[in-house]
Copies of this chain bind each other. A is one copy, B any other.
């Protein structure tokens, strides 16, 4: 994700084209960005939040717009972008931060104060626009710091492992940099301890095969891609020392929604007494939801199941046969060994520990 001084566009790496092609997808309008999120051009809970925050700054504001008109347009844009995907809470968290700026222009940021000093006579609309850009950049920068901190906190848990299994992509491509689930692996790699990673291919959209494998290989971390169905057999053979995944939303009790196929891994880890870690920034917690049963689960187009080779590929399911395509499943807290956030590690997560963790002061390296 690249930000522009002019905020004329949000510049994304088109993840649907990886690993064959490094193609940019430049979104100049709100519908383009909405579509990019919906089609998974940009995906991964934190990255969706960052993209949406920048997306708000694409709102077409006329120079003649009154402050009230401009605010309405920005709020409309926030509500429109919130409809792009339903499960990852980071999207709503980032949009809520942008909404707070729109609704409270009096909370002037340091950046805005200095910019205002050099921009005498700028209208209050223009001031607000500058504040929104500053907030989007701050969301982006905060994410970088959170990922690095997750890496540091998680590294102790994986330091003794040789083989770690992950699902989907919760790496640099899912965040600003470094990732969440992959952050401890990158952190250890930087510090001279390189693990071997088994990457579940992650049907239907193969983010593990296409994205996790690509970014780990780029970083020099050895990686082996397996079909999702192979993970259990590897665990039985003793080839998996730990499992680490990201999360799209975590309820107040620690139940975690993540890419479809995460829950069976947690059951398999439990059966084989393998630690199962969820790595996510604290903005992934949705403390308004008592349990994971309340997390809305996105149902995606069945074509993703019917055509494993992509939209132009061979249709593998007979036409007259139904498919289902839930994009996420929910792993109950009791199957999670620990949740790793930028603030530290929540061992055997439950409602009290999570409330205390989220209320605790943020770690030094963040904010």
Contacts and interface: CB of A to CB of B under 8 A. Distances in A.
Interface of A: 19-20, 200-204, 206, 209-210, 213-214, 217, 222-233, 236, 260-261, 263-264, 267-268, 270-271, 305-310, 312-318, 320-324, 326, 329-330
The residue in A201, A206, A321 that gathers the most chain B C-beta atoms within 10 A of its C-beta is A321
Given A204-B227, A323-B224, A313 B309 contact: yes
Contact of A309 (B232, B233, B310, B318): B310
Protomer copies: 2
A174 to B, nearest CB: 17
A206, A270, A326 pick with most chain B CB within 10 angstroms? A326
Given A217-B318, A231-B264, A260-B229, A305 B236 contact: no
Contact of A313 (B19, B264, B314): B314
Given A201-B316, A223-B322, A270-B271, 5 more contacts: A201-B308, A203-B228, A225-B306, A236-B329, A310-B313
B263 A321 contact: no
A327 B225 CA distance: 15
The 7 closest A-B pairs by CB, nearest first: A309-B309, A229-B261, A232-B264, A309-B313, A308-B308, A233-B329, A203-B227
A12 to B, nearest CB: 20
B263 A227 contact: no
Nearest to A206: B316
Given A203-B203, A324-B224, A214 B264 contact: no
